[in-house]
Amino acid sequence: MSIALGCARTETRASTSTSSREAPMRRSSARFRAKSRRRLRSLPDLDLDALLPPEIDGDLESLQREAGAVFGEDGYALRFGDVQEEISAIKTSAAVVDRSDWGLFRSAGSDALGALKAIASEGDVDDLGVAGEGMEITLVCTGERAQVYFQSEGFLVIVPPSAADAVADALESFPDQQTMELNDKCAFLTVLGPRIDEFLSKTGLVDVLSRDLCAHQVFGFANRPVIAARSSEHDVPAANLIVDESIAGEVWATISRTGVVPCGSEASDAILIDLGRRFE
């Protein structure tokens, strides 16, 4: 699997917030590492069109602002209402969370395995798995949990904001691999909750939920790639979506308008901290 995406450094999310009307632009660094572009292979359709008419205007931030989001200084949604109600939606129903403040990295090359071992706790990684499979690791830099998705030429890794800079530096220290930060061109959405199969029954996302943890595949939506992976980070069924920024608003709005509750990072992080996957 290969993806035609740019790269930029993820900034750690600040705790202060602004109103939905004053949402700042999302921060991204001007530092670009890998500029190669790869041809996408043919992709199966992600049939979100089966849920609602596709006529949705606005980018991701604008749509979240319309839904009442309160944003942090980094421009990411902290909450849409009462945080406890959002936590309840995640645990008992179905929700969608924009987690684009998390670090998204791709490593490829002859020393990709060495790079992965460098960021993982000792004994977590023996070798690179089969493309389409994945695993969880404990990050040696912070002790937090991260997910790894194996690809034919390396791997993708998703890390908490607090670990993003340390992981980037560790990956870049290996000369025989190429590191790409994907945050400048991608959004990271998680659809989760015990009832998500009811809401997404008409889409290929349901198939992802039946696969092994961190197993993933590439779908096509609006002629752009969407990487969908099975997750259970919040101790409920979940699908992680790495989405081209140009269609992120449409994907987020289409999913949320099925009745899935939009939630912010405060609810998501509270659950992850309680489970010991993140630290305050």
Phi, psi of 107 (to 5 degrees): -125, 130
The share of the chain scoring above pLDDT 70, in percent, equals: 80
pLDDT of residue 3: 34
More confident residue, 45 or 9: 45
Residues 141-178: pLDDT tens digits? 999 999 999 999 899 999 999 999 999 999 999 989 99
CA–CA distance, 129 with 165 (Å, rounded to integer): 25
Instruction: For the beta carbon of residue 13, count every other beta carbon within 10 angstroms.
Output: 23
CA–CA distance, 117 with 80 (Å, rounded to integer): 38
**How many CA atoms lie less than 13 Å away from 245 in the CB half-sphere?**
14
**How many CA atoms lie less than 13 Å away from 145 in the CB half-sphere?**
16
Residues 108-129: pLDDT tens digits? 999 999 999 999 999 999 999 9
> What domains can be seen in the chain, in order of their start residue?
41-100+184-274 (3.30.1360.120), 103-181 (3.30.70.1400)
Q: Which residue has the tokens 């930029």?
A: 8
Residues 223-261: pLDDT tens digits? 898 999 999 999 999 999 999 999 999 999 889 888 999
Q: What is the DSSP letter of 182?
A: -
pLDDT of residue 253: 85
